[in-house]
Amino acid sequence: MLAAVRDPHDDRVRCPRAAPVHDHVGFVAADATLNRRAAAAAIARSRGLRAPEADALAAAREKLTTIEATTTDLRPAREQAAATAGERERLRERVARLRGEVQARREAGLDAEETTERFRAAARELSEAATAEAAATEQLDRERARVRDRYDARERRLALEDEIGNLERSARASLADAVRPRIKQALSALGADSDDPPTHEWLLAAARVAVVAAPVVVTAGPFDASEAAQWLDVPVVRL
Amino acid sequence: MLLVVTYSRAARTTLRNICRAHEESVVRRFGRAALLAATDHGAFLACRLRERHPDAVQVERTAPFNEFTDVPDRVREAAVAYEREATKHTPYARFATGTDHPDPDRLRDRPLDA
């Protein structure tokens, strides 16, 4: 039911589009998941309140988009350096083995020409592999140096993201503080404990303070459908 | 040991969770960085972090620092002399002038032997 109310593409319930605040107060039940501070902040926003942190937040978010974060992933360069080093080591062993073979054949008075040829070919390959390894290692060193600056940008981004997180938290707190008296008032009108009410009573009070357009789904509380609709001043689905 | 530094909120959270779950392989934690043990398991954790956040995790291999084997004598001696003899607000450049101690530019340019 709730999903149908909230999903604008779901035709089973045709109703005004559910605003963000509906996620917080659109379902009045004893076991609804609820973060009261986040809900109170959403209620304040639904009433058109603006947090004092709003300008600073917008500025920080804007600044964040200007810090470009280029890739710092050097995996290909690291792999290349490791692969070329491995290849050089493999060839070094092969050259050593062939050198021994050539020597052994000569000492035994055997024909060493073909082995010598293989030894020379391997030695050439080794020299090429050593060049490739040096190039890959240099490349990795260069990229590491380049990446240091990119980490600086990422560090600035992270600091800004933390700043945004703090501002968002403090904006939520200011907004929640702004509507808390009204929610308490509504709780008193309900005859509920205004300090630590059960979830569904808090939600009934909160939804009354919120400006909601989409129907509120109610499964708990003292009201029937029409009483609830009157109390909340919004269409109600009473289950 | 392995020094792991994270550069995003997500990577920092992963590091925090990993450190919490694998205290035995964490030598020290500093905010968004940590020193992991030089064991296969420390390396395993570093590889996991890199795999999950390839762009936001820097890993460096560290070694203990012995100033009596890893540092040229004159550099170490200059540092000791500066700490012991210089007055509080004397910059090192001025302290080194007219002495046998290396000047700061030389110190900056000369790479430390591995």
Q: Mind listing the pLDDT tens digit for each residue in A170-229?
A: 999 999 999 999 999 999 998 888 888 999 999 999 999 999 988 899 998 888 888 888
Distance CA A133, CA A131 (A): 5
Q: Which of A24, A55, A49 is nearest to A178 (CA)?
A: A49
Hey, are the CB atoms on A73 and B9 less than 8 Å from each other? Answer: no
pLDDT for position A71:
87
ipTM: 0.78
pLDDT for position A148:
87
The separation between CA B66 and the C-alpha centre of its own chain, rounded to angstroms, equals 13
Hey, are the CB atoms on A72 and B58 less than 8 Å from each other? Answer: yes
pLDDT for position A194:
81
Question: pTM for the full model?
Answer: 0.74
Is the Cβ of A78 closer than 8 Å to some Cβ of chain B? no
What tens digit of pLDDT does each residue of A49-74 get? 999 999 999 999 999 999 988 888 99
Contacts of A119 (CB under 8 A, 6+ apart): A95, A98, A99, A101, A102
Is the Cβ of B58 closer than 8 Å to some Cβ of chain A? yes
SS3 per-residue string spanning A191-210: CCCCCCCCHHHHHHHHHHHC
What tens digit of pLDDT does each residue of B20-65 get? 999 999 999 999 999 999 999 999 999 999 999 999 999 999 999 9
Average pLDDT over residues B83-112: 93
Count helices and strands in chain B by DSSP H and E runs? 5, 4
Lowest mean pLDDT, pick from A27-31, A92-96, A156-160, B45-49: A27-31
Is the Cβ of A68 closer than 8 Å to some Cβ of chain B? no
Distance CA A130, CA A134 (A): 6
Smallest CA–CA distance from B54 into chain A, residue:
A73
Contacts of A186 (CB under 8 A, 6+ apart): A204, A205, A206, A208, A209
Burial of A112 (0-12, 13-18, 19+ CB in 10 A): middle
Distance CA A126, CA A84 (A): 11
Distance CA B108, CA B110 (A): 6
pLDDT band at A11 (very low <50, low <70, confident <90, very high): confident
Count helices and strands in chain A by DSSP H and E runs? 8, 3
Contacts of A73 (CB under 8 A, 6+ apart): B54, B55
pLDDT band at B114 (very low <50, low <70, confident <90, very high): low
Coil, helix or strand for A214? coil
Residue extents of the structural domains in chain B:
2-61, 73-109
What distance in Å separates residue B33's CA from the closest CA in chain A?
A: 12
Hey, are the CB atoms on A72 and B12 less than 8 Å from each other? Answer: no
Query: What token pair was written down for B27?
Result: 């030598």
Hey, are the CB atoms on B55 and A69 less than 8 Å from each other? Answer: yes
pLDDT for position A60:
95
Hey, are the CB atoms on B58 and A151 less than 8 Å from each other? Answer: yes
